[in-house]
Each structure stands twice: as C-alpha cells, then as structure tokens.
Structure 1
C-alpha cells in the first residue's frame, strides 16, 4: 500500500455534516507572536461544505478529566473544501487556545541551516519566532560569504566539525536528519564519520533517481518465477503503438530505451515520484523501483513507470 493509494477523487467523498467528527490537524501556521492558524482535515472521506463566516465548535482534550469546548469562526475559504482552518489568538487567560498553540515547546532540537549568503537563509524569521516559544530549540545559521553591508555577525564558512560543535556541542548524542544537495549531504556524512558519529542515527532526504540494480540482483528476482531469465541478456522492448522494437541493454530503463528508439514517453521527475511516465505493460516482466508515483491498483492493472522499470526479458509496452 503506497501513500498515494489513500487519495480519493472528489466524487468518492461525502459532504461534511453537523454531526461529531474527529479532525486531524495537518498544519499550524504562526501569524503573529500570539496568533496561529490551524488547518484540519476529516478522519473520514469527507469534504467540507459551508458558507463564509460559519463557525465550528472544537472539543479540545486539554485534560483527561473533561474536554474544553471552544467555538471559532472558520477562516478558510469554502472554495477549497478538502480542509478547514481557524485563526485564533491566545488571550492572557485563555485555556483552549493556549493549549492549541502548545507546539511541543519542550522538544530538544538543534536546527542548523547553511546558505551561501545571509539573504539566502530560508524561513529565518519564522524559525526565530518558533524558537521564542520553544526554549529547547537551538538555532544555528552558517553562511559561506557576505557583503559588509549585510551586517552579518554569525558564523561564516562551510559547515565542519568545529562549527557544528559550536552550534550543537552534543551532536554525537543526537539523531541527525540532513537535507540538501548531494555534495552537501556527502560532506556532512563524511564529517560525521570522521567524528565517530553512529551513522545508524543518520538520516537524509534525497530526490535522486534510484540506482540501477546489479545484474545478479535482477537474476535473483527473475529466478523466483517459473522461467529462468538471463539477467545479462539484451532484452527486446516492443512499443506496440509506435510499432517499434528496440534493444534494451542490462540495467537500462524502459524510458531510456524509448528515447533511443525515438518513441516519446512523457516524463518529468525521472525518479519514480510524479507518475508522468506511466504506461501499460502488455506482456513480460520488469523490475520497477518507484518512489510512490504509482498506485497499487494501477500496478495490478498492468501499469508501470517507464523511468524506473527495467525489463526482465522481452516486454511489450503500450506506447
């Protein structure tokens, strides 16, 4: 089951009614120092039908003894019916609103962000506003260069063990989540390894296309079927609509084979994410390693993503 399989088309949803519903908070946006917007969706397959200016009563589990009921005007627009929002101000003695604004203030987080110049630092003001509400949120900003007119007084240069130790002295005891260009993440990985960091607690986000599987791995997968396939053999890909047969060397994708044969298959991310290159597989087997760009029921129908599918033997594609 993929994340995308939870998606429902509008005509499959039921309109919201005035009965009790469980809501899931999917976003909390800081508007000012004491005002936040909370966005909710239903835990059921519902869409929200309401008029501008209508209100909603929320039952807030402030304590285990008795929930607090609070009524708020909807600040969202009915033209976007998949969620609703309320914008609330935390008054001095308010209970429910301040409970809603409590965004895990005791979470111990060291957030380090790097940029080329001070003006390239993303969400700096928002992070500083969040840090004012979270005493254990430590912010660290590092820029490579600056203009004297920038008035930058923070750390300069590239992130290294010395700078990281200043910003997060206990980084060896933490769990690290890293995101950025591959050269940047590679540098962070190498730095942490040299520092003796336990890499089992290192996680990174990458949008690079999946690497081609080794021939022996394809052989193992193919060997699980009734017919044994030579993983090192050149496969033939037949594009039925174009009326073309093309040779596909081991490790090459259906999309790469199509381009070499002059067959157009639309593609965008080429990493198995967007689903643009979805095509019907008429016959044959492929090794597909997608990243959520295709639904399980689409796979059952015979669809594949050309960008991340490699043939195991001869295949026919509707393209």
Structure 2
C-alpha cells in the first residue's frame, strides 16, 4: 500500500507557511521601523539593478505609484542620503523595490551595485512625493521617460496592470540603445494583457542590435504626433534626466499643450549629485561668493535672526522669510544638501537652541523632530538659532 511521501518527511525539514500569508500585516512606517532587509537583487540591464526590500517585522508598504524612498547609507565612514523612486507597485505590499542605474563616478550608485546583497539591512525614510497618477485621475495618460526615469512610470503602469485597470495609456520610453531599455519584456507583457496600453521605444542608436525594428533617433514633436496623435488630450507624466525633461517641455510648449495637464519629477537627484558633482560644487561655490559680496537675502520688512554654527564657529544672518540653507550658502557656509525640498534628509542637523518653522516633505522622522533635529533646506528661523554643525 502506497503512503503519502509527506508522512515520512522529517519535521525539521518541513517548510512552514510564511506568517504574512495568514495575517493582515500592519502598515510599515519609517518612524516605527527604520531598517529594511534587502531580499533580492535583480539585474535589469548591463548597468541597471533592482533592489527589493522587505520589513523584518512583516509590515506592509503603503504608497502611491510614483513616490520615492530615501536610503540612509554608511559609505566609507560617511552617512549619505539618496532618494530613489519606488519601481514596484503598491498592489504588492510585502516588498518594495528601487531600480538604480550605475552612474560612472557615482559614489552611491556604484556602492549599491558593488556591495548591496540579499540579507543586508538598510535604513530607509519615506515613502514621500507628489509625482503620482493617483492624484491626477484621467481617462487617458501619456507616460514619457528616459533612462532610469522609467521607474516611477513603471510603478504606475504595474499598478494599473495588476488592478486590471485597463486605462488608455501610451508609454514612450527613450534609451541609448535597445539593450538599455529597462523593463522591456515586462512592458511588452503589460501591452499584451491590456488592450489600451501601448508602448513605443525610441533609441539614439541600435548598438549591437542589427535587427532592431523600433524607432532610432530622439523624441521630437512630429514623432510624438505619430506615436500619440491625441497627446493634447492626455494627462502627461514625464521623468528623466534634466535635459530630456526640458526638451519635452519645449516640444509641448511648441504644440501649445496645457501645462495644467503636465507633471514631471520635481528633482533630478542622481543627475545633479552623482553624474555632475563638479557642476553641483560650482553652483554652491558661486552662491557662496554671492553671499560674501554682501547679498544677505533679507526681504523687505522681514525680521533678521542670527544663526550660529557651533562646530565651525561661524555666525550668519537669516531673514525670517528665508530658509536657513539658502542663507548659509549665500554667506559662503558649505553644508551638505541634495534635494533642497525637504525630501531626502541630507541637510538634517541638530538644533541646539532656537525655533524654526519647518515644512518638510518626508525627509525626517517624527521622533527625530522630537529629538530636536531639523532640515535646514525647509526651515525658516523664528528666533536666533544655534546649530550643531
């Protein structure tokens, strides 16, 4: 008589059902649980990887497609914050992913590609951001992306697909070569599953593909009219390098497109900090020289307060209508900063004394605020300040 083989399976070798399959998980928040575990690293293209994270406590991720998280990384003895758009869909709440392109000379992207492995723990802030189709419902969308700017639009596309929301979406992605197209196979799958989802890839050159059937060149207004003749009627979301987004704005302005229906990622984080670090340094230096030449940034009628930096023994003046970071730069004080919009947490410091009016966008935890931490980029003085910097 045959018996079920499972009868003879040793108890210690049995695979148990994960807890998150049998219970509704609590919502993840970085205020409660600041560290996530990397559970998978996926090679997308020759220089792009996706990193997947989960909550050690099994909490679920709740966010809007298109939002971002901020990684707090310790690299060579330095704490560095970087914002990365979430590439996964909120319909898969047990994991969250970012997709990172290796930037030549980029300190963070290269560190992630070379060092971050499954099992590693990373401190994370967020999610945050307003670049999301969830806040701009429309019958028809046009997604325009270039390079790694595809990630927020991929999150939006995945969400529509997995919710069986067959919205009229035209997704136009620009890449250097066909081999540089991120998520190409998955986008083809979504297009095959949803009758109203269409993709079009525009490549600068064919690279190693001798049989590339797609478009070669750059996105232009005549080309956009061929791909999406009704683009003037669509809600447009754009993300990519700053020159690409400017080119898109220019061609849409040429067409007379209503900017009320246009949305773009509000900062190009990696472009400024990683691929153009010298440019960023020059901008800061120029701002510092402007301050040294006597421009104090005060507005007419605004009260002026003293801001003292205890470690560097520097004191500057800052108007009540001015952000402390702006005043510091104008006075030649060099401070770490990246997004300058209260998102990334790079300019986070301890406020030793004084009060500020801070309006941040997710770059600081409530418990840190309770401990006296502030973000200088989005803080205006309400009194004289002493900063631990």
TM class, shorter-length? 0.5 to 0.7
RMSD, aligned α-carbons = 4.6
Equivalent residue, structure 1, for 2:164: 104
> Structure 1 residue 302: deviation in Å?
3.6
| Structure 2: gaps (5+ residues) | 1-26, 36-54, 65-90, 95-117, 122-160, 270-286, 288-294
User: C-alpha distance in 1, partners of 2:30/2:213?
Assistant: 47
Is contact 1:246-1:257 (8 Å) kept?
A: no
Give the 3-state SS of the residue equivalent to 2:218 in structure 1: coil
TM-score, length-scaled by structure 2: 0.47
> Structure 1 residue 310: deviation in Å?
5.3
Is contact 1:288-1:310 (8 Å) kept?
A: yes
The 5 Å alignment of 1:1-319 reads 7-9=31-33, 39-41=92-94, 103-104=163-164, 106-147=166-207, 149-208=209-268, 219=299, 229-230=302-303, 236-242=306-312, 244-248=313-317, 253-254=324-325, 257=328, 271-286=341-356, 288=358, 290-296=360-366, 298-299=368-369, 302-309=372-379, 311=381, 314-319=384-389
| Structure 1: gaps (5+ residues) | 17-22, 28-37, 42-76, 81-100, 221-227
Is contact 2:241-2:268 (8 Å) kept?
A: no
TM-score, length-scaled by structure 1: 0.56
Structure of higher RCO (CA pairs closer than 8 Å, 6+ residues apart): 2
Give the count of matched residue pairs.
Answer: 230
Structure 1 residues 249, 151: CA separation in 2 closer, same or farther (over 3 Å shift)?
farther
User: C-alpha distance in 2, partners of 1:110/1:196?
Assistant: 19
User: C-alpha distance in 2, partners of 1:291/1:5?
Assistant: 15
Q: Indicate the structure with greater helix content.
A: 2
Give the 3-state SS of the residue equivalent to 2:343 in structure 1: coil
Question: Structure 1 stretch 168-177 or stretch 191-200: which is displaced more?
Answer: 191-200
User: C-alpha distance in 2, partners of 1:277/1:157?
Assistant: 40
Structure 1 residues 249, 4: CA separation in 2 closer, same or farther (over 3 Å shift)?
farther
Structure 1 residues 294, 119: CA separation in 2 closer, same or farther (over 3 Å shift)?
same
Is contact 1:237-1:248 (8 Å) kept?
A: yes
Give the 3-state SS of the residue equivalent to 1:190 in structure 2: helix
Alignment deviations for residues 252-275 of structure 1 (CA, whole Å, 9 cap, x no partner): 744883897888x66565553232
Is contact 2:240-2:268 (8 Å) kept?
A: no
